[in-house]
Every structure is written in structure tokens, then in C-alpha cells.
Amino acid sequence: MHGEVFGTGQDEDLIPPVIDGVKENIEKIGHGEASEFFKGKIFTADCGYHHKDNLQKCVDEKLDAYIPDKRFRTRDPRVEGSRKKTRTKFSLGDFHYDEEQNRYICLNGKALRMYIKRRVANNTAYRVYKAQEQDCLDCPVKGTCIYGNGRGPKSLMVPLGADGVNLSKEMVKKIESEEGRRIYNLRMAIVEPVFGNIRNNKRLDRFTLRGKVNIQWLLYCMVHNIEKLANYGFA
């Protein structure tokens, strides 16, 4: 229903323009009400598209979307135990909370005191605790501590709860379900053969029309679709 070439290496904000392009084409051909076209329809995309703007667009269009996060494969039960599990960084559970003084104590016995009372990131509210710079510089376990800002003092983000709906967490729960994994696994057989056919069989392994790459891409997509109709559409 729509295809487009984007001059970016990231997919984090590409779902909205593609969906809007489909809606525009639907209106042109008179194929029902564009605003209701996506309602309840299954939509899958790989982990590169897992971004709040893409997820929000799917919600707005009432799509039954399945877009895994970047750690999706590491949680796959089929690979459990097949990889050597190494843990190189501490997490929140490794810090002791001193409720009386409202501070966290690290494994080296140093205190991280409240730095920011409330910070919102990805629709989740956090309280930030920060260490003293000198404590981190002299720490014998700083190499395995939490991820920080370069060589500066470490900061610990403690979730306070969802600030509104956390679309990313909701999507993770949805796709981790048995039905979610079943649906997403179908994507490999549906989407990947398209790129395989266009790239390998049709030999489009690079664009050759400078300034007209979108035209070239759409031309190959049309040829792919015509071939599908010739082989399967009129049977």
C-alpha cells in the first residue's frame, strides 16, 4: 500500500510517515475510511522500530502492533543456556537503601544521595541518586559498577512508577506472551522473502539513479507485486 526510501540509518521515527502514506493512498483509491482502516489489524516490525513515537502512532491508529525491544532475542527461551551468561555491571538490587537518611549505599560502602527528586524518562518517573565524584574515582570496583556518565560520579535511577502509560513496557509484556511470540515469529516468513527477492533475484543491491532512489525503489516493489499476482493472485 505504500513504500518509501528514507535517507537515515535509524528506524526510530519511520512508522508514522509510512502509515500516513498508506492512509493517503487509501483515500486516493477510495478503499473505505482511512481513519478506520488500521483498526484491529496486525502490524509487526523489528526491534529497530521500538521507539515511543512509533509505538504511540500504532496506538493512535488502533493497530494490533508487535514491535520487540532490542533485548527481545536475549529473553528467548529457545536460547536459554546456549550463551554464556556474564554480568559485568551492577544493578539497583546491588545497592542497599538507607531509608532513615534516604540514600543508597554501594558495594564499596559509599553513599549515593538524592540528586533529583523526580525525572521522567520514557513515560516512567525516576528519583536520581548521585555519588560523590571522589568516591567513584578511588573505587576499586568502578569497572563493574552501574553505567555512568564517562569518568564522572555514578548516578542511580530509581523508578517511582509509570508516568502515564509506559508504551515500551506494555509492548514488552504483549510480545513476551505466547500469542505475541507466535505472531511475531510469522514476520520472518512474510517480510524477509520480499527483501531477498528484490535484492538477490532482482539484483537491486544498490541504488543507481541519483536523486531518484524513491522512484527506483517503488518500481522494484511494483515488479515484485506483479510477480506475486502472476504466480498466486489469479489462481
Which long-range contacts does 209-216 make (Cβ < 8 Å, 24+ apart)?
213/5, 214/4, 214/5
Kindly report the pTM of this predicted structure.
0.67
So what's the pLDDT on residue 163? 57
Burial 134-166 (b: 16+ CB within 10 A, else e): ebbeebeebeebbebeeeebbbbbeeeeebeeb
Per-residue pLDDT of the chain (235 residues; tens, 9 = 90+): 788 898 887 888 899 999 999 998 888 887 667 778 889 999 999 999 998 889 999 999 999 999 998 878 877 766 555 454 445 578 788 889 999 999 999 989 999 999 999 988 766 788 999 999 888 888 888 778 886 655 678 888 888 865 567 788 889 899 999 999 999 999 888 888 998 999 999 999 999 988 899 999 999 999 999 998 888 876 5
So what's the pLDDT on residue 84? 47
The one-character DSSP state at 203 is: -
So what's the pLDDT on residue 162? 55
So what's the pLDDT on residue 82? 47
β-pairing, 42-44 vs 64-66, is parallel
User: CA 108 to CA 68: how far, in whole Å?
Assistant: 36
User: CA 75 to CA 72: how far, in whole Å?
Assistant: 6
So what's the pLDDT on residue 226? 93
What three-state secondary structure class fits 10? Answer: coil
CA distances from 83 to 64, 79, 88, 103, 120 (A): 32, 7, 15, 36, 34
So what's the pLDDT on residue 160? 80
